[in-house]
Structure 1
Amino acid sequence: MKLKDKIAVVTGGAQGIGQEISLALANEGAKVIAVDMGELKYEHENVEGYKLNITDTEGCKKFYDQTIEKYGRIDILVNNAGITRDSMTRKMTDEQWDLVIDVNLKGVFNLTRYIGPQMEAIGGGSIINISSVVGVFGNIGQANYSATKAGVLGLTMTWAKEFARKGVPVRVNAIAPGYVMTDILKTVPQDLLDQFAGLTMLKRLGQPEEIAKVALFLASDDASYITGQTINVNGGMRL
């Protein structure tokens, strides 16, 4: 039970990668609050859902205050929630650009702005930001998404310095997944999935639980000397 008695917050925790991360942390003893705009699609005795739009600054502050009042602290934060609105740059609308920036960057900032300093105050913690392979390499038709996921990497390195500047072991790391078989990819034609798999050295797509295992590692004391890093979990993908 690597995370016994730890309190964890996972955004986008209702399904997909967020669900697997929530379950992985919960199975190791953490009490997990899975934040999402939708209902949880699963049950676990150590996971509770909380409906929240992470772009709502006041809503995030209310959630933070209620969580601290109930549990006293937050030890782990996984900033997983994110959206896509893909389009070629010449066709991309202001709405597509603004919405992705709002969710994928402001949403990450909104909870960390409260939880990061709180970790400083309690003497440590782990923040894990979920970026993407396209935040590292870019991708055609995803200027908005790749910009936000690259921005998440910048936030990771900044927060790793900022929250540990007083010698407190607050660790901040990022995971950059490749193409992972979530419900979104299940709607993609098989020939395209095969093409994506062919871009990896392992010649297959990832599974959500493979991302969750890395998140569990970073959340635990097994990663006690790792901070400010990006772990690429993409099967050796090159876009």
Structure 2
Amino acid sequence: MKTVMILGGTKGVGKEILHSCLEKEYNVSFCGRNLEMGKKIIQSTKSENKAYFHKLDLNNIVEIENFYKQTIKKFGRIDALVIYAGITPVSSLLDTDEKTYDEVFNVNLKAPFFLVRHVLKSMVEKLSGSIIFFGSAHMDYGEIDRAPYALTKSTLYTLSTHIARHYAKYRVRSNYVVMGWTNTEGELELRAKEGITEESLKEKASGIIPMGRMLSPFDPIPAVMHLISDESSMTTGSLIRVTGGEYI
């Protein structure tokens, strides 16, 4: 019986990963700011014995460690860690102030780094584990108004390959899934602030993405579930692009 830990899990693709894991009868530990939302997900999926929700502010390093400890306490082990949560501020290199820089680096890079630090120790002890980072097509150089976001995603790829190179001897795997333009709740909320509707967003995306449409939250799921499974036991250090052919 696998235990999957998700940094995130209440929204977007993270939520779909959670549902897919429960369908596989995996144990799932997930987190978010909204306790009621977490409880509602557990109740709606009737997974009180198989799911654990931890209320978590990703700026709180102590609480990140508690998330790890409570997951181990409930399930005894962590077989896979999915790093999904992140923020995408609209900010160019010329416009980024210190507050924005700190926010995106704390949530997108510092929080994952320290959670991985705790989980990796337990995986090394068990001589088994799969870590899956969610990346972005912005990782290579990014759009002009996503400078700090692009930097964090590029650095997460470096962290993924670092783990793959140095911890393969402990049978710990690490892979990086590049997720393309996806109509998640967060993306729709961000665009709504810019006065862009979901319909107009999809129309715009269809003219940019080579395969003709935005991703749905379900599109990355098969790749993630494969990397969680034992079928990918010899897959590490990989970069998988689920982008519809988009390269920013």
TM-score computed with the length of structure 2 as normaliser: 0.89
* Aligned partner of 1:126 among 119, 127, 130: 130
Q: Which amino acid aligns with 2:120?
A: G
| Cα offset, 1:92, TM superposition | 1.5
Give the aligned partner of residue 86 of structure 2: 82
Aligned twin of 1:218: 227
Matches within 5 A, 1:1-239: 5-38=1-34, 39-40=37-38, 42=41, 43-44=44-45, 45=47, 46-164=50-168, 167-186=169-188, 187=192, 188-189=196-197, 190-239=199-248
* Matched residue type, 1:24: S
* SS, match of residue 219 in structure 2: helix
Structure 1 residue 88: Cα displacement: 2.3
- After superposition, the Cα gap between the structure-2 partners of 1:194 and 1:137, relative to the gap in structure 1 and judged at 3 Å, is farther
Contact 1:24 1:213 in 2 (8 A): no
For the 8 Å contact 1:14–1:49, the answer to whether it is kept is no
Which aligned segments of 4 or more residues in structure 1 are displaced greater than 4 angstroms? none
Aligned residue type for 2:150: S
Greater alpha carbon shift after TM alignment, 149-158 vs 183-192: 183-192
CA distance in 1, matches of 2:228, 2:201: 34
1:123-163 CA-partner distances (Å, limit 9, x unpaired): 10110011111113411100010000111101100011222
Any conservation in 1 of the 2:52–2:71 contact (CA below 8 Å)? no
Q: Is the 8 A contact 1:130 1:176 kept in 2?
A: yes
| TM-score when normalising by structure 1 | 0.92
Counterpart code for 1:49? F
Do 1:77 and 1:128's aligned partners in 2 also have CA atoms closer than 8 Å? yes
Closer/same/farther in 2, CA of residues 68 and 192 from structure 1, 3 Å limit: closer
Structure 2 residue ranges without an equivalent (≥5): none
Deviations 1:203-231 (A, max 9, x none): 00101111122111111012111101111
CA distance in 2, matches of 1:47, 1:18: 14
Q: Deviations over 1:170-211 (max 9, x none)?
A: 110011101111123333334343222222221001011111
Query: What is the CA–CA distance in structure 2 between the aligned matches of 1:238 and 1:112, rounded to whole Å?
Result: 28
Shift of 1:51: 0.7
The aligned length equals 233
Distance 2:57 2:177 in 1: 22
Letter in 2 for 1:153: Y
Q: What value does the CA root-mean-square deviation take over the aligned residues?
A: 1.5
Counterpart CA distance in 2 for 1:184 and 1:115 is 27
How far, CA to CA, are the matches of 1:179 and 1:106 in structure 2?
24
SS at the partner of 1:131?
A: strand
Q: Deviations over 1:45-74 (max 9, x none)?
A: 133321112332211222222222222111
Q: Which runs of 5+ in 1 are unaligned?
A: none
